[in-house]
Structure 1
Amino acid sequence: MRTSRTSPTRRAIGAAASAAIALGLIAACSSERGGEDLNETKPFIFGSPGDPASMDPVFASDGETFRVTRQVFDTLLDHDGTEIVPGLAETWEQNPEGTEWTFNLREGVTFHDGTELNAEAVCQNFDRWHNFTGGYQSPNYTYYYSSFFGGFAENDPEMGIEAESIYAGCEADGLTATISLTEYTANFPGAFTMATTGIVSPASLEQITDDEVVTADDPLPQYTQEAGVLAGTGPYELTEWDHGAQSVTLERYDDFWGETANVKTLIFNTISDENARRQALEAGDIQGYDLVAPADVQPLLDAGFQVPERDVFNILYMAYQQQTAPLDDHDVRAALSHAIDRQRIVDSVLPPGGEVASQFIPPTIDGWSEEVTTYDYDPELATQMLADAGQEDLSIEVCYPTDVTRPYMPAPKDIFDIIAADLEAVGVTVEATPISWVDYIPATRSGDCPMYLLGWTGDFTDAYNFLGTWFSTETTEWGFDEPEIFDGLAAAAAEPDPEVRTQMWADLNVTIMDQLPGLPISSSPPSIAFAANVEPMEVSPLTQEDFSELSFASE
């Protein structure tokens, strides 16, 4: 058996927590002004780029939902930077085959409703997800769960889930939970860190039912849109969700198992426009916001604001939907790739530290290869290749999202404009199709967009979290059928030896870039901004910030 490291996380208990509590008291005192403790009296308001979708994290796949639910629902394992560390499980171990995972839970952990955490509660959550039926099996609702576990106890053929579930069961013994899989996959142990697997109190689950969703188009059940229905074990409790005001309020949970949150009240306000977010910070209406426009970083620093930069852990790409002619022609895809000046995108749109991507994983991930075919900017070559392919008068629809910024895509319209200009310079007529973000992902997944901008921020440090997300099977999203890639990814994902798996990823990156399903454009370090009177939390390259760490400084 391989045993995990047991060093304390940022929420650790014991001696480290005692020291941190002492420091927290000092910080609290320093934030007092005229006898007023700002951490107790002043809410910290954060400007989020988008609304959360659900307060039951298993029914979400977006970062804005997870930004909120991570403060409420803890997971078995956690991240410190990109390293997997203890969460609700103080220690964990796996068998050599990677099919049996044993978690030793922390003592004295309680849910917000007063229920004590034990292994039975963990198993009830995993068993609940495994037994979802009907519309709950749709990727629209449980995308991450089916990605990690393959399928469900009984797959509903109408939901398009064909793979057998690899979840073999969960056994509870006091504070020890053992989760069994039928086969190893590179998604583990990363899946146990994912916000979507946040552990919910069984007592609160008894208050709701999971039978409201029948088809993939049904809305989520009402309880997922309400505050305080489900109880977690996190440092904050969800107390209000005002949909009209696009505002979510959380209050500190004083019986939290680790270091209690510094700020008593935490509010997430949705401000979709990046200029409006900056103006709200400058006006003092909010104390922090995410996805700072690259052009705003230096002016904010000059004005005395704090703008910490995350490490690079994402990919922006232009996808080629190969069921749309002539994108089924490799030479056409290569010509379009040579036409795009990716360095100009990096230099003019992305923040400092951005870089051109050569493949579909960032260089910080094991398996990145120096041997991939590259498609350097060469408009003359692009023009010639299009002529040789009989596409001198090519007209192509290109989609891009509106009313949103993403860590990998800080200014979608600006990026699109550069790409469109580059394509038109080699004789391609670009049909621009801007789509609201709420409709954008369904449109791209259904194959409605021949070419489109999209990207990914990694969830954990294995190449499969990138490559497997896109290329593990034939989809309408990409519209290509390459068994060599699909089979290679399946074999690599099932390889428990990390060194062997790394070489397999590197070989697959070469194969994928030879096939060219899309053009990797860039990786970039997204920034997050805070007011001068805030002591920020440690920023996360995975955008998994722990808001319980931040506090108000003295003014």
Structure 2
Amino acid sequence: MTLKRTAPLVLLTVAALSMSACAQSDRDSGSDGGTSGGDVKDTFTFGAAGAPDVFDPLYATDGETFRITRQIHSGLLGIKPGTADIQPELAESWTPSEDGLSWTFKLRQGVKFSDGTAFDGKAVCYNMDRMYNQKGAGQTAAEYWTYFFGTFSDDPSGSLYKSCEAPDDTTAVINVTRTTSSFPTILSLDSFSMQSPTALEKGDANNVQSAGEGFTYPEYSKNPVGIGPYKISKYDEANKTVALVANESYYGEQPKTKNLVFKIIPDESTRRQELQAGSIDGYDLPNPVDWKGLKDAGNKVEVRPAFNILYLGLNPERNPKLKDLKVRQAIAYALNRDQMVKSQLPEGAQVASQFMPDTVSGYNTSLQPYAYDPEKAKSLLKEAGAEGMTLKFAFPTEVSRPYMPDPQKIHAAFTKDLEAVGIKVEQVSKPWNGGYLDDVSANGAYDAWLLGWTGDYNAADNFLGTFFSDLKGNDFHTSVMPWGKTLSEDLKKADAIVDEGEREAAYQDINKRIAEEYLPGIPVSHSPPALVTSGKVQGLTASPLTAEMFDTVTAGK
């Protein structure tokens, strides 16, 4: 529906959610849920591009891990299959107070965690307080909480979350410190799923410790207890498989396929070969050059809308030359992004002019990408006194992402471009979950790196806010830049604007300043990712958020 731009945000939310709350989750509708039958096998095997990092979703940060955790956990809110829209999940409805600072969630009744613990208002508050009360290394590991809720209980002044109350078993009231376009939508994120208070307590789940460049997690993180359609059966690290089994106490219909196996196959060509051999039933992110051949062989290739951004990040704290806008602009002019998009990304991909796709409110249509102009790049480097500078430029291995199907090839193309304008490149690589993400986010180990983002929900704050709102903790190290604080504060102000039209205009202005005055990194491209399955697979709904559920899938024989 079309909403009036002058309507208050709280009233808009009440109107929209009062309608959606009347609907039941799609998982509850229309099937006998059986796994029997002569034409159906009881195992669906999916080829994963990378190993999971940790099964406690609070500490997870990457898509390969979330692909697994979302099968074993549920949140208060969910995502309607095939869309980026929220729908009821463990909460049947949610209503804000008049000032928008207290939200009352009416909960599903008769729901239990897979260990038999009752899901009720107290369980909701236990989970929210557990996340808010993280200490030490747990705060660093809980990156999504920091992104979306801010600080923790030891620094409440910067927190969106305030408190939680459970008036009765079927009600939870979550209090927040300010109005924001992101709440309660962020409760649909996998990181904020509900977990069994009994299991969390018994497993000492918060006992996270720093270990070199990463973390060590308690035993609980290997076998967490949620309310999803599946539960963990076994993680065989030696054989690189994660086995899940149907959760017999799941509140919705039972999964169509009893066993769900994730087979970790880092190499994309190997995943394709295993699909053709029948040893897996599907995999994500097939190489665009293979789409036609996969279809011709009888497979199904589902192309999702491009709801993502690939960027080249820059770290001016590690390399002071990057503090100069002319140097950052030179890098932008040096990159032949048009050629990279045409040669390495699928049809429908486009060069990016800003750090969010054009479907998100606040996108500035007047902006154009920096043109490929190596002579302009050389001139700017000379003006900045940065001729012959060196960049420690990194890319991840053992992974394919929706926005980055082949990181090594993209890195090689950009390395060639940078060297052509006189920038020396020190090439670095690490496995995605073997140090790369920690080096980027926690350690600031690189001058430049390839990374990206697939939106969690449809809001400018989910892109720009995720990248730049946290002045002290963002990957681009904007705290050392004279405009860093201004950008952080302006993003927070924009997110709090109630009027939709004013909020959109504020984000358009911020996008313009990011592109023309700040340039903390180089937005590269938006790419429509695909998902491929055997022609025998039925019931899989592709998600623009790459957030597929597998409980509706049958694999055939």
Taking structure 1 as the reference length, the TM-score comes to 0.90
Partner of 1:506: 508
Secondary structure of the 1:400 match is strand
In the TM superposition, 1:153-302 aligns within 5 A as: 153-155=153-155, 164-172=158-166, 173-210=168-205, 212-215=207-210, 219-227=215-223, 230-302=224-296
Secondary structure of the 1:534 match is coil
8 Å CA contact retained: 2:397, 2:407? yes
C-alpha distance 211-9 of structure 1, shift in aligned 2 (>3 A):
closer
8 Å CA contact retained: 2:246, 2:259? yes
How many angstroms apart in 2 are the aligned matches of 1:370 and 1:273?
37
Deviation, structure 1 residue 479: 3.1
How many angstroms apart in 2 are the aligned matches of 1:7 and 1:342?
46
Q: Deviations over 1:138-185 (max 9, x none)?
A: 2xx211112222222225xxxxxx853332211112211110012223
8 Å CA contact retained: 2:306, 2:528? yes
Query: Of 433, 450, 455, which aligns to 1:453?
Result: 450
Q: Deviations over 1:216-254 (max 9, x none)?
A: 757433324433xx3222111212121222211111123
1:442 is aligned to 2:444: no
1:422 is aligned to 2:420: no
Partner of 2:5: none
How many angstroms apart in 2 are the aligned matches of 1:298 and 1:147?
39
8 Å CA contact retained: 2:418, 2:425? yes
8 Å CA contact retained: 2:112, 2:249? yes
Q: What letter is aligned with 2:110?
A: G
C-alpha distance 374-356 of structure 1, shift in aligned 2 (>3 A):
closer
How many angstroms apart in 2 are the aligned matches of 1:115 and 1:210?
16
Secondary structure of the 1:551 match is coil
Partner of 2:6: none
In the TM superposition, 1:469-548 aligns within 5 A as: 469-472=466-469, 473-475=471-473, 477-480=475-478, 481=481, 482=483, 483-514=485-516, 515-548=518-551
8 Å CA contact retained: 1:190, 1:459? no
In the TM superposition, 1:330-369 aligns within 5 A as: 330-369=325-364
Deviation, structure 1 residue 7: 5.0
C-alpha distance 243-426 of structure 1, shift in aligned 2 (>3 A):
same
8 Å CA contact retained: 1:75, 1:199? yes
8 Å CA contact retained: 1:11, 1:259? no
Partner of 1:87: 89
Secondary structure of the 1:484 match is helix
Deviation, structure 1 residue 476: 7.0
Partner of 1:309: 303
Deviation, structure 1 residue 541: 1.1
C-alpha distance 212-253 of structure 1, shift in aligned 2 (>3 A):
closer
8 Å CA contact retained: 2:310, 2:526? yes
How many angstroms apart in 1 are the aligned matches of 2:172 and 2:306?
34
How many angstroms apart in 2 are the aligned matches of 1:79 and 1:497?
25
Q: Deviations over 1:106-157 (max 9, x none)?
A: 223222122332112111111222222232122xx211112222222225xx
Query: Of 21, 33, 49, which aligns to 1:6?
Result: 21
Query: Of 290, 314, 332, which aligns to 1:320?
Result: 314
Partner of 1:78: 78
Deviation, structure 1 residue 417: 1.6
Partner of 1:21: 31
C-alpha distance 492-302 of structure 1, shift in aligned 2 (>3 A):
same
Question: What CA RMSD, in Å, does the superposition of the two structures yield over aligned residues?
Answer: 2.2
8 Å CA contact retained: 1:97, 1:496? no
Of the structure 1 ranges 50-59 and 92-101, higher mean CA displacement relative to structure 2 is found in 92-101
Deviation, structure 1 residue 373: 5.8
C-alpha distance 176-345 of structure 1, shift in aligned 2 (>3 A):
same
Deviation, structure 1 residue 211: 5.6
How many angstroms apart in 1 are the aligned matches of 2:341 and 2:510?
26
Q: What letter is aligned with 1:471?
A: F
Q: What letter is aligned with 2:451?
A: L
8 Å CA contact retained: 1:305, 1:529? yes
How many angstroms apart in 2 are the aligned matches of 1:362 and 1:224?
37
Deviation, structure 1 residue 458: 0.9
Partner of 2:463: 466
Deviation, structure 1 residue 274: 0.9
8 Å CA contact retained: 2:76, 2:88? yes
How many angstroms apart in 2 are the aligned matches of 1:119 and 1:11?
23
Partner of 1:134: 136
How many angstroms apart in 2 are the aligned matches of 1:164 and 1:517?
23
How many angstroms apart in 2 are the aligned matches of 1:9 and 1:388?
62
Of the structure 1 ranges 319-328 and 502-511, higher mean CA displacement relative to structure 2 is found in 319-328
Deviation, structure 1 residue 447: 2.6
Q: How many residues matched?
A: 529
How many angstroms apart in 2 are the aligned matches of 1:295 and 1:7?
44
Q: What letter is aligned with 2:31?
A: I
8 Å CA contact retained: 2:203, 2:218? no
C-alpha distance 468-177 of structure 1, shift in aligned 2 (>3 A):
same
How many angstroms apart in 2 are the aligned matches of 1:508 and 1:119?
40
How many angstroms apart in 2 are the aligned matches of 1:123 and 1:502?
33
Q: Deviations over 1:498-544 (max 9, x none)?
A: 33222211111111111111110001111111011111411111111
How many angstroms apart in 1 are the aligned matches of 2:490 and 2:401?
30
Deviation, structure 1 residue 204: 2.1
Secondary structure of the 1:549 match is coil
8 Å CA contact retained: 1:345, 1:418? yes
How many angstroms apart in 1 are the aligned matches of 2:208 and 2:247?
32
Query: Of 98, 105, 112, which aligns to 2:114?
Result: 112
Could you tell me which runs of 5 or more consecutive residues in structure 2 were left unpaired when the two chains were aligned.
Answer: 1-10
8 Å CA contact retained: 1:150, 1:163? no
8 Å CA contact retained: 1:144, 1:196? yes
Partner of 1:159: none
Secondary structure of the 1:308 match is strand
8 Å CA contact retained: 1:55, 1:225? yes
Of the structure 1 ranges 93-102 and 56-65, higher mean CA displacement relative to structure 2 is found in 93-102
Deviation, structure 1 residue 203: 2.6
8 Å CA contact retained: 1:360, 1:467? yes
Deviation, structure 1 residue 82: 0.6
C-alpha distance 121-274 of structure 1, shift in aligned 2 (>3 A):
same
How many angstroms apart in 2 are the aligned matches of 1:206 and 1:222?
11
Q: What letter is aligned with 2:435?
A: D
C-alpha distance 152-320 of structure 1, shift in aligned 2 (>3 A):
closer
Q: What letter is aligned with 1:470?
A: F
8 Å CA contact retained: 2:205, 2:218? no
Secondary structure of the 1:420 match is helix
Could you tell me which runs of 5 or more consecutive residues in structure 1 were left unpaired when the two chains were aligned.
Answer: 156-161
Q: What letter is aligned with 2:321?
A: P
8 Å CA contact retained: 1:136, 1:216? no
8 Å CA contact retained: 2:204, 2:220? no
Partner of 1:158: none
